[in-house]
Structure 1
Amino acid sequence: MAELRTLVSGVAMGESPRWRDGRLWFCDWGAGQVVRVEPDGTTAVVAEVADMPICIDWLPDGRLLAVSGQQGLLLAVGDDGPPDQHAVLGAGRWNEIAVDGRGNVFVNDIGFDFPGGEFRPGRVCVLTPGADRPREVADGLAFPNGMAIRGDTLIVAESYAGRLTAFDIAPDGGLSGRREFAAVEGSAPDGICLDTDGAVWFADVPNRRCVRVAEGGAILETVDADRGCFSCALGGADGRTLFITANQWGEDGAGEGVVYATEVNSRASRSSAAG
């Protein structure tokens, strides 16, 4: 079993870890914060977000975007003041974000109130550079969750379908060629990240683990934890550290949130974007 070390404790509800510029970033939903973590575990609050910072990613010009889920906004996060409104997403249960090299911003909408709401299929929308509003580019997804981009391919975790689904990305952000990347029956894939071999690490809340799966469905590696794993990101000095946001999860919601770190057998992809 991989040895987990606790990098950060006392997290209200951690999600969306990202490795960039030699440091880890993540969202703390419960505290309404975007947090930056130094390699030694020292933390700094980058931004306070009044309404649940769901997920983060960077535009090609280096600007950091955060999804403010319940307000239906994309926020631009800086180091010198409160976040600014970048775009209006509109009505939806907005969740994960992934940005491609052209600046197309993909955001998914799970499609129903969670937890407790009646299930309805979700969708993926794209905000292209210069656009005022996003447009829908894929629908019929069973709880779309983590997303990652590999070249001109978008990979989406469908938590309620036990699978990862891939799409081809057109220059204008359109999606086509929908196909199964990997079936992971018995799992509920949440946040994901890519490695240099083209495999995907996905976090799995009910099974309290993170799993590395190849295209086609072969399981390559598993990291078990003592609580639900919500998302993961590869990074560290050599790219072989898997960072995991994990929380106890039950009928009363989430608690005892941490960020774990562990060494794995794969290396971070420069184009990866973890959910």
Structure 2
Amino acid sequence: MTTIATTVADGFHFLEAPRWRDSRLWFSDFYGHRVHSMRADGSDVRQEAHVPGQPSGLGWLPDGRLLIDSMRDRRVLRREPDGTLAVHADLADHATGYANDMVVDPHGRAFVGNFGFDLMAGAPLRPTALHRVDPDGRVTQVADDLWFPNGSVLTTDGTLLVVETFGNRVTAFTVTDDGDLVDRRTWARFGPLPDDPDVERALGELRIAGDGCCLDADGGLWIADATGQRLVRVVAGGTVTDEIHPGASVYACALGGDTGTTLFACAAPDFHADARAAAREARMLAVPVAVPAA
């Protein structure tokens, strides 16, 4: 269905990794090189961090310190109480592409994806690995053969869900007490793996080009379809229960607001780096939904 989405904030370059925390929406602006937060209505926008290496995934340690993926230098940064940024972990010798989205568990372990290839230069598509960053900064590879691991969530029963943008699927893992990933399985399949390593042609083979995602209280996974100009709610097995067509391309989403029933979505005309860096056309949209955040 086509749903009227409200623009709650605009004038950004390219928004990603929205997170609801402490009654505020936090998000990264790739080419503005900043992490911001704001109230649900878009007011009181604050700069939370300046990240020259281009910020992406966000998460928090148990003590409340913010973790930020710094994409281009493939690092995870940590914001200290005085606002300064420190290198929490260096993935340069591990990630084969830009660091991407991540999720942080209650123990402070971050699960970090990466592109796996040079997307913006038009390099051929290839799979990559997922890495765990422990609270002490140690980096461990915990999964491989992932096709552009992107948005990720952790369920209450200890399952990690990873949206694979070029994999046409969502992959699930059980997280052990030690932070290892076991019992790999396909949680939702939208279609076969693309046959063509050319990115543009591969995108045309995707039924859902899953980007950022968020989980609701009934176990539904909202996914931003990066090429379909829609937000889809998917349940285990791959059934799409709901679709929202906000009239714009969307790349990430988060549930939040006072009741947890506002679906925030990061919108932009496209994802091309040069075009987005040169313009301020990105917006944060808000759409009411029935089921609140998990």
* Fold similarity call, TM over 0.5: yes
**Which residue does 1:171 correspond to in 2?**
177
Q: Deviations over 1:177-217 (max 9, x none)?
A: 11111123411100011011111000011101111001111
Q: Deviations over 1:27-77 (max 9, x none)?
A: 000100000011331211111111100111111221110000111211112
Q: Would you say 1:148 and 2:169 are equivalent positions?
A: no
**Which residue does 2:167 correspond to in 1?**
161
Q: Distance in 2 between matches of 1:206 and 1:253?
A: 17
**Which residue does 1:267 correspond to in 2?**
292
Change (3 A) 1:49 1:172: same
Q: Distance in 1 between matches of 2:19 and 2:60?
A: 10
Q: Would you say 1:114 and 2:116 are equivalent positions?
A: no
Q: Distance in 1 between matches of 2:91 and 2:63?
A: 21
Matched residue of 1:160: which SS?
A: helix
CA contact (8 A) 1:193 1:202 kept: yes
Q: Which moved more, 1:77-86 or 1:229-238?
A: 77-86
CA contact (8 A) 2:3 2:246 kept: no
**Which residue does 2:6 correspond to in 1?**
5
Q: Percent identity?
A: 38
Q: Deviations over 1:215-266 (max 9, x none)?
A: 1111111111222211000011111000001111166543510000010121
Matching residue within 173, 183, 189 for 1:183: 189
CA contact (8 A) 2:5 2:285 kept: yes
- Segments of structure 2 that go 5 or more residues without pairing to the other structure are 192-206
Q: Report the number of matched residues.
A: 268
User: Which aligned pairs between 1:93-104 and structure 2 lie closer than 5 A?
Assistant: 93=97, 94-104=99-109
**Which residue does 2:69 correspond to in 1?**
67
Matched residue of 2:153: which SS?
A: strand
Q: Distance in 2 between matches of 1:121 and 1:210?
A: 25
Matched residue of 1:196: which SS?
A: coil
Q: Aligned-pair RMSD on alpha carbons?
A: 1.5
Q: Distance in 2 between matches of 1:205 and 1:229?
A: 6
**Which residue does 1:44 correspond to in 2?**
46
CA contact (8 A) 2:57 2:103 kept: no
TM-score (norm 2): 0.87
Q: Distance in 1 between matches of 2:271 and 2:182?
A: 37
Change (3 A) 1:79 1:247: farther
TM-score (norm 1): 0.93
The structure that is strand-richer by fraction is 1
CA contact (8 A) 1:213 1:219 kept: yes
**Which residue does 1:272 correspond to in 2?**
none
Amino acid at match of 2:50: E
Q: Distance in 2 between matches of 1:16 and 1:206?
A: 17
Matched residue of 1:114: which SS?
A: coil
Q: Distance in 2 between matches of 1:103 and 1:52?
A: 22
Amino acid at match of 2:48: V
**Which residue does 1:203 correspond to in 2?**
224
Matching residue within 131, 143, 146 for 1:138: 143
Q: Distance in 2 between matches of 1:231 and 1:180?
A: 21
Q: Distance in 2 between matches of 1:78 and 1:215?
A: 38
**Which residue does 1:242 correspond to in 2?**
263
Matched residue of 1:248: which SS?
A: coil
Q: Distance in 1 between matches of 2:48 and 2:166?
A: 33
Q: Which moved more, 1:178-187 or 1:189-198?
A: 178-187
Question: 1:79 Cα shift?
Answer: 6.5
Q: Which moved more, 1:74-83 or 1:182-191?
A: 74-83
CA contact (8 A) 2:30 2:54 kept: yes
Q: Distance in 1 between matches of 2:60 and 2:134?
A: 14
The structure that is helix-richer by fraction is 2
- Segments of structure 1 that go 5 or more residues without pairing to the other structure are 270-275
Q: Which moved more, 1:258-267 or 1:88-97?
A: 88-97
Amino acid at match of 2:235: A
